[in-house]
């Protein structure tokens, strides 16, 4: 599967036989003729002297037609000999998997390649089909295996999750040590006091929350998120400009909901940088696509009001403050 084209990769047949191969030897077309469609009846069996029919067809081709060595008329496919098919164990071997790691033959049949034959022992596949399926299987499942790590509990999880868990564990350990290092016992962790689980949880959760939102060495690269937001919004502008008829102004479609959610996430963690974010979007839109900042500001206002989780009153007050003057509505200026 090639997702860039939303289709399957076309691979040439190794044993393709072309029209040129068939016509390499002299042939006459006296036994073949061109039929009129009104009188044509399909033969019940293979045509006799088929090579002569092919020669007649070749003689009627136009100069711009596909070359004869590109016209496949037959295949030599010894791999389709049932004696060369592989069973479930063979499929697993080709895919470098254990048979138990293959999709279940009863419940996961649709995840296996279409069989070329059925036997009493189960489905059987040709080796090229098995190899193609193995390649696709590893494309789908390989990244998860490559980017996994073992947790402190001995389970395999994504590498990023394990790294985050390890960092949070260290932060909480340090927080606990700081809380008990005082000469005076911290009241949150003394056994004699009545445990306040909500207060304990708030205390333990504070520094992990700070670490997640830290823009310098946090869990999420804040600066990269901002760049991603800008490029995502501008990518939408690029599509709108490409779809519009010059020289009329481009009709800007709403910003995608997922991008709005990312804007939400960013401005709620970096509110002081909201004017810079909106200003950069307006500046780049003007420089790259000659878009009026006012049109860009109207689009930001409309899209955020449509999909943002921030309440409308707060959002509009924020936009009044953060949008550049040239991007404000005419009435608001």
pLDDT digits (tens, 9 = 90+) for 111-123: 899 999 998 888 9
- pLDDT at position 188, please? 56
State whether residue 183 is helix, strand or coil: coil
How confident is the model over 185-189, as a mean pLDDT? Answer: 57
Report whether pLDDT(191) > 80: no
How would you classify residue 45: left for phi > 0, otherwise alpha for psi between -120 and 50, otherwise beta?
beta
pLDDT digits (tens, 9 = 90+) for 265-303: 999 988 899 999 999 999 999 999 999 999 999 999 999
pTM: 0.62
* 107 or 261, greater pLDDT: 261
How confident is the model over 70-96, as a mean pLDDT? Answer: 91
Query: Average pLDDT of the chain?
Result: 84
CA-nearest of 88, 184, 102 to 141 is: 102
Q: Predicted confidence band at 110 (pLDDT cuts at 50, 70, 90)?
A: confident
- pLDDT at position 33, please? 83
- pLDDT at position 333, please? 42
């Amino acid at each position: 599967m090639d997702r860039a084209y939303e289709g399957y990769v076309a691979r040439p047949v190794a044993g393709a036989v072309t029209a040129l191969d068939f016509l390499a030897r002299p042939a006459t077309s006296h036994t073949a003729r061109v039929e009129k469609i009104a009188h044509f009846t399909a033969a019940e069996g293979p045509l006799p002297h088929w090579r002569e029919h092919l020669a007649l067809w070749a003689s009627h081709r136009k100069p711009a037609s596909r070359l004869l060595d590109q016209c496949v008329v037959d295949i030599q496919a010894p791999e389709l000999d049932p004696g060369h098919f592989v069973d479930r164990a063979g499929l697993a071997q080709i895919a470098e998997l254990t048979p138990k790691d293959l999709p279940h033959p009863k419940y996961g049949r649709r995840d296996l390649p279409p069989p070329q034959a059925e036997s009493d022992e189960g489905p059987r596949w040709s080796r090229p089909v098995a190899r193609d399926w193995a390649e696709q299987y590893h494309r789908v499942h390989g990244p998860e295996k490559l980017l996994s790590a073992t947790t402190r509990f001995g389970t395999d999880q994504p590498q990023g999750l394990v790294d985050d868990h390890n960092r949070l564990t260290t932060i909480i350990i340090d927080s606990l040590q700081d809380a008990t290092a005082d000469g005076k016992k911290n009241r949150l962790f003394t056994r004699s006091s009545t445990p306040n689980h909500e207060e304990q949880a708030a205390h333990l959760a504070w520094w992990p929350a700070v670490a997640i939102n830290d823009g310098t060495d946090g869990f999420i690269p804040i600066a990269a998120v901002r760049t991603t937001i800008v490029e995502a919004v501008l990518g939408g502008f690029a599509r709108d400009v490409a779809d519009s008829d010059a020289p009329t102004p481009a009709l800007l479609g709403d910003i995608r909901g997922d991008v709005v959610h990312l804007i939400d996430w960013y401005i709620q963690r970096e509110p002081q940088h909201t004017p810079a974010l909106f200003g950069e979007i307006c500046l780049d839109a003007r420089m790259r696509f000659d878009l009026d900042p006012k049109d860009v500001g109207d689009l930001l206002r409309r899209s955020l009001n449509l999909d943002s989780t921030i309440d409308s009153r707060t959002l509009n007050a924020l936009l009044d403050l953060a949008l550049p003057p040239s991007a404000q509505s005419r009435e608001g200026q």
